[in-house]
Amino acid sequence: MAPERLTSQVVGRNIARLRAESNTTMRELAAGVAEQGVPMSASGIADIEQGKRGVNVDQLTCVAAALGVSPITLLMPLPDDGNPDATVMLSGTSPETARDMDLWLRGSRSLTAYLMDDWELEGFRRRANPPWTWKKQVEGDSDGG
């Protein structure tokens, strides 16, 4: 699998897995995605699941909503044996443990955390997360600042 297609492959496998777990047909998923405002055919879903094509971010969020999961669920590579210490990889990343990849996708820890001091780690968390998750809320201030 080409490194630039790793994330597309992961998303396709996760869609297929979640669809099977929920006994959802490709046509039903396509209809659910269309209800979210993004037309997609059953054959398009088949192509995504088989790794013949990727998804854009609009399709990713609509498919996640139609499946009732977070977009992170579609992006997270799952090790075959379910071991969180198994090595996984996405496009643009180096091989990481599934646990570290999950923390990175959630914006909790950088993939290079082992090279960072506490100040740099906090900077990563602030860049990776919406301001309201780390800014102190001041009474009467609607923007959290």
Per-residue pLDDT of the chain (145 residues; tens, 9 = 90+): 455 689 999 999 999 999 999 999 999 999 999 998 999 999 999 999 999 999 999 999 999 999 999 999 999 999 999 999 999 999 999 999 999 999 999 999 999 988 899 999 999 999 999 999 888 766 665 554 4
Same-domain pairing of 10 and 55: yes
DSSP symbol at 76: P
User: In this predicted structure, what is the pLDDT of residue 72?
Assistant: 98
Provide the domain count of the chain: 2
pTM: 0.87
User: In this predicted structure, what is the pLDDT of residue 10?
Assistant: 97
Residue 67 lies in a domain: yes
Residue type at 24 in one-letter notation: T
Residue 118 lies in a domain: yes
Same-domain pairing of 55 and 91: no
Same-domain pairing of 112 and 49: no
User: In this predicted structure, what is the pLDDT of residue 8?
Assistant: 95
Domain limits for position 121: 87-131
Same-domain pairing of 63 and 97: no
Both structure tokens of 140 = 């009467």
Pairwise CA distance, residues 80 & 100, whole Å: 16
Tokens 């139609």 found at: 66
Same-domain pairing of 8 and 69: yes
Domain at 69, CATH number: 1.10.260.40
Positive or negative torsion for Cα 110, 78, 53, 21: negative
Residue 50 lies in a domain: yes
